[in-house]
Structure 1
Amino acid sequence: MTIASSLIEEIIAIHFDPRTGSAFWLEQEKKLGLEARKEITGCESFHLFGPMDTEALRTRPLLDFIPNRFHNELPSMILAESGGTTGTPIRRVYRPDEFSAAFVDSWKRAATARDFPRGCNWLFVGPSGPHIIGQSARAMARSLGSLEPFAVDCDVRWIKRQATGSLGFTLYLDHVLDQAMNVIRTQNIEVLLITPPLLLALADRMNDAQRERIRGIHLAGMALTVADSETIRHQLFPQAVVLPGYGNSLVGVLFEHALPLPNESSTYMVDDPALWLQLIAFQEDSKPGAPDLAATLKPGQRGRVVAHRLDPSFLLLNMVERDTACYAAPTGEGDQCVVTAVEPIRPLISSKSEGVY
């Protein structure tokens, strides 16, 4: 599924309006000699802008990316930052309805499809602060009739500075897990929102009764390997509905809609009209900076993920991501884009920078 031409026309008109558009995109249009409102008519035209300037996203004032017409709405907007895995943080905003579409609405549909438990106590072990996952965790729990999650805050930028296995890493991990176990011992926790490595470490501290009490697990923040998936689903928490997601603070989240077959990777479905994921050819030894953004791979071919998100408040085109994946056949009705076998590109993501989130 690609983004509808009517939505593309609407969003391009907003961001490239000469009087009320966004300063960054108007500059890009002039720099490249384009007439965006005439030339950007469908997803196949996005490549004309080249890769998203992530350095500008890291360094320029946030208001440069928000159309002038929405600057009076800033008090109601939601600020999000990336985790900083591939460099200094990238920031963006969401209007409330955009935030819901990117993180909550598709979650509710996936949770309903997978019969995820409702009305339960959640424990969220992850970053709050500027990271959108803290706000989305509260909204996701409430969307299923639950109290906002009990929470343990993680400073993901600090843990990424510690070498895995170092004293600093071990002490901080112990600190996080001790807080999580305090909640598990004193509250009736039935749902966990956590990363795969944190869950595996936490499971080692939980007794059989505590693990058996868990009825739902949402895995987020890091790629889920087939081996970890098998261990979590079939050995540690066989009674829980395990529902992983793939995404980030900037573009939203895709969720697993169908349980994978044994020893197979999770598949994630784009269930958001403002989002399109494209897979382009990738070679680890290829020179950076010149990806072929005009080409889209066929099902079964592994390629690098390129994300496009078109919101009125913020436009992201050709975000070349840190992951590779394969297209899979759509699940259920419709022509939704489905990706599987998501893996981080190891030359970009060291074990130190990835940490536990």
Structure 2
Amino acid sequence: MPNHSPDVRVLDCPADETPDAQELLEAAMQWHFGPETGSPFWLERAKKLDFDPRTDVHTADDLTLFPNIVNELRDVRVEDLIPRGYGSFTDLYGVYESGGTTGAPKRVVCMNDWMERWLAFSQRKLDERGCPRGVNWLALMPDGPHIFGAALREGARRSGGILFTIDMDPRWVKKCIGGGRAEEAGRYAEHLVDQAVFLLETQDVGVLITTPPLLERLARNERLVELINEKVSHIQWGGAHMDADTRHLFRTEVFPGIELQGAYGSTMILGGSLERVDTTGEDRCVFDPFSPYISFSVINPGTGENVAYGERGQVVMNHISKGMLLPNNLERDTAIRMRPPEGQFGDSVTEVGPVASFDDEVVIEGVY
């Protein structure tokens, strides 16, 4: 039991400040489970919990008390996800969906204050890697109901550039692959590559954001490799997994001299992490989450216990903010558990890879 009443004002701290993890967590419990401030979804869901989040949740370990509720987000009314404390829907930035990799898409709400906070974090990480400001971005990434597209549009504008995009429907590619129509999926991917050629030949582009499968296809096109090496200084990849050998090949042979930075996250945490700057010389792609709002743990799925540092397990993600509470979400990824930087809430991860199946569904990444 805390010896004080949590101050919910910590939920509104400036975007460039990092709140104390326990203070944030306790304030979030008061907010999301308070009758006047919590969302209809969580207030109703709390009736089925065998603990009281307002008195029993204070640490990262306590988040494991929660059930994984993300599958319930496939059919819940999005209005019921918005905390009553906001007072109206005018603070809603948007409604976003998962990629539908393991069935019907799940939906989350993104409030204006969270988008401000995530964009500030992302810009800090880009600056750390020397990503140039004042240049245009080209995104070969899903937009529409996918949160990453919305964030890229705003991120490019705030960094002083223009965002160019292409049409992409990753669900169609997954449907083709799942239905045994790999050739059709390949033709669709080449259609996406053709659109990239048009843009890179005619426009100034300094930052390229895409998925590993599409980056591999871009790398097969000699003209595109030439254009990218001529114009682009920073490539950010995400949305699917990249193995260490492929990453090394891109950095040393295909796109030498271009900064390659990975991104790892999920719609179910309303964001994610950008690859940390490597100061060890080990050339490992390590992701530190946006602590304390987003946290990772790496567990043995059979026991639910954390694996040892340096061992592989399945990733669990948590999101704790004023706008959303999404705790204890077992993701469709495995990773090696890494020791976090000092003061970070939760683990860091490296060598992320997909599980073969999840929720009794075969995991199909496609182009995303």
* Contact 1:301/1:326 (<8 A) preserved: yes
Give secondary structure in 1 for the equivalent of 2:268. Answer: coil
Q: Distance in 1 between matches of 2:291 and 2:282?
A: 28
Is 1:272 the counterpart of 2:271 in the alignment? no
Which letter maps to 1:66? I
Aligned partner (choices 354, 358, 363) of residue 344 of structure 1? 354
Q: 2:79 aligns with which of 36, 46, 63?
A: 63
Deviation at 1:262, TM superposition (A): 8.1
Separation of aligned partners in 2, 1:98 and 1:133: 13
Once structures 1 and 2 are overlaid, which stretch shifts more, 272-281 or 190-199?
272-281
Is the 2:70–2:326 Cα contact (8 Å) retained in structure 1? no
Residue number in structure 1 paired with 2:263: 245
RMSD value over aligned CA atoms? 2.4
Q: Tell whether the 8 Å contact from 2:272 to 2:294 is kept in structure 1 after alignment.
A: no
SS of 1:257's equivalent in the other structure is: coil
Q: Which residue in 2 is equivalent to 1:25?
A: 42
From 111, 115, 118, the counterpart of 2:126: 111
Aligned length: 343
2:240 is equivalent to residue 222 of structure 1: yes
TM-score (norm 1): 0.88
* TM-score, L = length of structure 2: 0.86
- Secondary structure of residue in 2 paired with 1:57: helix
Most deviating of 1-10 and 26-35:
1-10
State whether residues 91 and 112 of structure 2, in contact with CA within 8 Å, keep that contact through their aligned partners in structure 1: no
Is 1:226–1:264's contact at 8 Å kept on the other side of the alignment? Answer: no
- Seq. identity, %: 32
User: Separation in 2 of the partners of 1:206 and 1:110?
Assistant: 31
Query: Which of 94, 101, 120 is equivalent to 2:135?
Result: 120
1:43 aligns with 2:53: no
**Residues 1-357 of structure 1: matches in 2 within 5 Å?**
4-50=21-67, 52-70=68-86, 72-74=88-90, 76-102=92-118, 104-147=119-162, 149-163=163-177, 166-207=182-223, 209-213=226-230, 214-251=232-269, 252-259=271-278, 265-282=284-301, 286=302, 292=304, 295-330=305-340, 334-335=343-344, 337-348=347-358, 350=362, 353-357=364-368
Letter in 2 for 1:355: G
- Between 1:232-241 and 1:17-26, the stretch displaced more is 17-26
Amino acid at match of 1:186: T
Letter in 2 for 1:224: M
Higher relative contact order (CA 8 A, sep 6+): 1
C-alpha offsets along residues 233-252 of structure 1, whole Å, 9 cap, x if unaligned? 11111111111111022211
Question: Are residues 84 and 261 of structure 1, via their aligned partners in 2, closer, same or farther at CA, if it must alter by over 3 Å?
Answer: farther
Return closer, same or farther for 1:264/1:350 CA change in 2, 3 Å cut-off: farther
User: Which amino acid in 2 is paired with 1:157?
Assistant: R
- Give the match's secondary structure for 2:215: helix
What is the deviation of 1:196? 0.9
Give 2:268's aligned amino acid.
Answer: L
Runs (4+) of structure 1 exceeding 6 A deviation are 260-263
